[in-house]
């Protein structure tokens, strides 16, 4: 088993009253249909794995950022099936937001697999 972590830090460096709306697109690898021995388990963001497609996962974040399966805020079709999800929210001037995704990949040593980017 191998654990992967992806961390994105976003910082609004404006000094005036310029809150910024953010949509951060993320993804995890999906299990191979050609080799059922390869398994992918989403560990974070907490609650996303159990979330229904198109529904926000309850993260309980104080910064108000939300996450749901999909390619965009409006395009949620097949997001979970394709391993695509989005973070979205607003960053106030001078604030920083850290978004962390984590997943495990379990595969036998002889299984051939690779991670495709977005």
Is the CA virtual torsion 75, 30, 36, 53 positive or negative?
Answer: negative
Specify the length of the chain in residues.
Answer: 118
Alpha-carbon distance of 16 to 47, in angstroms, equals 34
Identify the domain containing residue 8 by its residue range. Answer: 2-106
Residue-wise pLDDT for 41-69, tens only, equals 999 998 898 888 888 887 888 888 999 99
> What's the pTM?
0.81
The count of domains in the chain is 1
Residue 59 is assigned to a structural domain of this protein: yes
pLDDT band at 84 (very low <50, low <70, confident <90, very high): very high
Residue 113 is assigned to a structural domain of this protein: no
Residue 27 is assigned to a structural domain of this protein: yes
Residue 117 is assigned to a structural domain of this protein: no
Residue 50 is assigned to a structural domain of this protein: yes
Residue 114 is assigned to a structural domain of this protein: no
Residue 115 is assigned to a structural domain of this protein: no
Alpha-carbon distance of 103 to 3, in angstroms, equals 6
Is the CA virtual torsion 35, 4, 73, 50 positive or negative?
Answer: positive
Task: Show the tokens assigned to 19.
Answer: 């809150």
């Amino acid at each position: 088993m191998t654990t992967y972590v992806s961390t994105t830090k976003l910082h609004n460096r404006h000094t005036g009253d310029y809150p910024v709306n953010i949509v951060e697109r993320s993804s995890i690898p999906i299990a191979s249909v050609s080799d059922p021995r390869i398994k992918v388990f989403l560990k974070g963001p907490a609650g996303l794995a159990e979330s229904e497609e198109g529904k926000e996962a309850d993260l309980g974040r104080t910064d108000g950022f939300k996450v749901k399966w999909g390619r965009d805020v409006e395009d949620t079709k097949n997001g979970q099936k394709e391993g695509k999800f989005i973070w979205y929210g607003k960053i106030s001037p001078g604030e920083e937001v850290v978004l962390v995704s984590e997943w495990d990949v379990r595969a036998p040593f002889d299984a051939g697999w690779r991670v495709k980017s977005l």
